[in-house]
Amino acid sequence: MLRFYEGLTDLEIATVLECRPGTVRGYASRALASLRIDLADWHMADEPLGGEAEDAAS
């Protein structure tokens, strides 16, 4: 959140959180990977299964 909304660097975030920049990068990497998986699952849930939309139009 601090990186994207506040525009802070890893070093600035590490200073705020009192941790190392590598820790900030690790947390950010895991959070983005989790978000990608959640968004992919959400996208797949929105798609019609087995061409149901095409069958209904015929």
23 and 14 Cβ atoms separated by less than 8 Å: yes
Q: What is the pLDDT of residue 44?
A: 81
For the CA atoms of 12, 13, 17, 18, the dihedral, rounded to the nearest 10 degrees, stands at -40
pLDDT higher than threshold 60 for residue 12: yes
Compute the mean pLDDT over every residue in the chain, rounded to the nearest whole number.
Answer: 84
Q: What is the pLDDT of residue 4?
A: 84
Show me where the domains of the chain are located. Answer: 2-47
Tens-digit pLDDT profile for residues 40-57: 888 788 766 565 555 555
Q: What percent of the chain has a predicted confidence (pLDDT) above 70? A: 79
pTM of the predicted model over 0.85: no
Q: What is the largest CA-CA distance in the chain?
A: 62
